[in-house]
């Protein structure tokens, strides 16, 4: 991948896992970021080439990405990094991938579809755990019935966070909840709905959360009504419901800046040993207006380990010219069985009596 793939934000928690995975799999991407000392130290350790540039000056970004066939953006929060990199990629004919799961960012990328087709550029965001497993599951379920109109996805096992993920969560505090309703994204209060899902026979309570599939699953399946859930402790549900009154305060610039600084000082991300023990489970359900319902269960290894593998494999497939131009979700680009090609991922249909 030398002179083919540029990994931007390679020295953050997730970016470092992505870069290390690339090397372990025999690839040689070029590493990049805005902090010269950090990217130089990482590149030296991994034996890779590197570049240093910020995202403040469009001409510099264009010059930097023009030498590459694709850019994999691992620099969160993506609300700040996606647009300048995409602008440069569209100017230089460079394909773009990232690992975002932020609804607003995904929607903004989807809006660039026509521009990307005209520039013959692939825009493939969310090639990490957000949202490869859930997007593939959504596509699989949508294919099981005729004209599905409702999709529900529920996640269990989201226990650890990296600094980048934490900052993305903080940025989302201005929008504590979101669903796709009748083909449009609608803001809803925190923990707007509560449902019980069966994860491998274990019944757990989950609440609506603004997962990236609220955006991506609509493009991948054309299902107009989409809700995404995550399991949380009972006490957390009460806290989430009460937090809605503080949305404006939590979304203010001073509070946002303070919370992000706190994350930088307090959050380091899970250790390798913790990741090895982590398992995430996903339950998906689709329904038709006639009442037909189909469900499936997906189990994956740790979210960050899976992200590293899906990000590199997605970039590899884009570099092999296996993806068309324009905006695509992972499930659209690679099909519903894509996630099953990774070690530790298992899918099974759920019997109505489970």
109 & 179 share domain:
no
Q: Could you tell me the pTM of the whole model?
A: 0.89
Per-residue model confidence (pLDDT) at position 158: 65
67 and 199: one domain?
no
Indicate whether 104 and 12 sit together in one domain.
yes
pLDDT digits (tens, 9 = 90+) for 44-89: 999 999 999 999 999 999 999 999 999 999 998 899 999 999 999 9
57 with 89, same domain: the answer is yes
| Residues spanned by the domain of 75 | 5-128+305-335
Same domain, 106 and 255: no
**Whether residues 299 and 314 fall in one domain:** no
Q: Are residues 169 and 179 in the same domain?
A: yes
Quote the number of domains for the chain. Answer: 2
Domain check: are 250 and 318 in the same one? Answer: no
User: Domain containing 219 — which CATH number?
Assistant: 3.30.360
Q: What is the pLDDT of residues 219-252, one digit of tens each?
A: 999 999 999 998 876 655 555 555 554 455 444 5
Do 241 and 313 belong to one domain? no
Give the residue from 80, 86, 136 showing the smallest Cα distance to 111: 86
- Both 151 and 33 in one domain: the answer is no
- The answer to whether residues 321 and 244 belong to one domain is no
The pLDDT, as a whole number, for residue 165 is 47
Given pLDDT bands bounded at 50, 70 and 90, which one contains residue 266?
very low
If asked whether residues 104 and 140 sit together in one domain, one would say no
């Amino acid at each position: 991948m030398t002179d083919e793939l540029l990994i931007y934000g390679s020295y953050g928690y997730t970016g470092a896992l992505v870069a290390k995975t690339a090397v372990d799999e025999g690839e040689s991407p070029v590493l990049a970021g805005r902090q010269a000392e950090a990217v130089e130290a990482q590149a030296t350790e991994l034996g890779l080439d590197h570049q240093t540039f910020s995202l403040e000056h469009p001409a510099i970004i264009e010059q930097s990405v023009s030498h590459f066939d694709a850019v994999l953006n691992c620099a969160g929060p993506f609300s700040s990094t996606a647009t300048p990199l995409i602008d440069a990629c569209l100017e230089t004919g460079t394909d773009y991938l990232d690992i975002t799961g932020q609804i607003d960012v995904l929607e903004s990328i989807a809006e660039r579809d026509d521009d990307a087709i005209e520039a013959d550029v692939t825009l493939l965001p969310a090639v990490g755990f957000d949202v490869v497993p859930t997007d593939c599951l959504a596509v699989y379920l949508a294919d099981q019935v005729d004209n599905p109109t409702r999709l529900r996805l529920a996640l269990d096992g989201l226990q650890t966070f990296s600094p980048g993920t934490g900052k993305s969560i903080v940025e989302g505090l201005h929008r504590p909840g979101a669903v796709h309703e009748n083909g449009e994204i609608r803001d809803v209060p925190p923990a707007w709905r509560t449902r019980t899902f069966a994860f491998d026979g274990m019944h757990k309570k989950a609440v609506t959360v603004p997962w990236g599939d609220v955006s991506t699953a609509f493009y991948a399946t054309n299902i107009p009504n989409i809700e995404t859930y995550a399991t949380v402790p009972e006490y957390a549900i009460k806290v989430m419901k009460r937090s809605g009154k503080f949305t404006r305060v939590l979304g203010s610039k001073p509070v946002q800046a303070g919370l992000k600084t706190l994350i930088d000082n307090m959050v380091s991300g899970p250790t390798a040993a913790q990741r090895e023990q982590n398992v995430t489970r996903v339950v998906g359900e689709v329904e038709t207006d006639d009442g037909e319902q189909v469900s499936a269960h997906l189990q994956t290894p740790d979210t960050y380990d899976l992200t590293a593998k899906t990000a590199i494999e997605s970039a590899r497939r884009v570099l092999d010219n296996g993806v068309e131009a324009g905006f695509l979700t992972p499930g659209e680009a690679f099909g519903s069985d894509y996630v099953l090609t990774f070690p530790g991922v298992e899918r099974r249909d759920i019997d109505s009596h489970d």
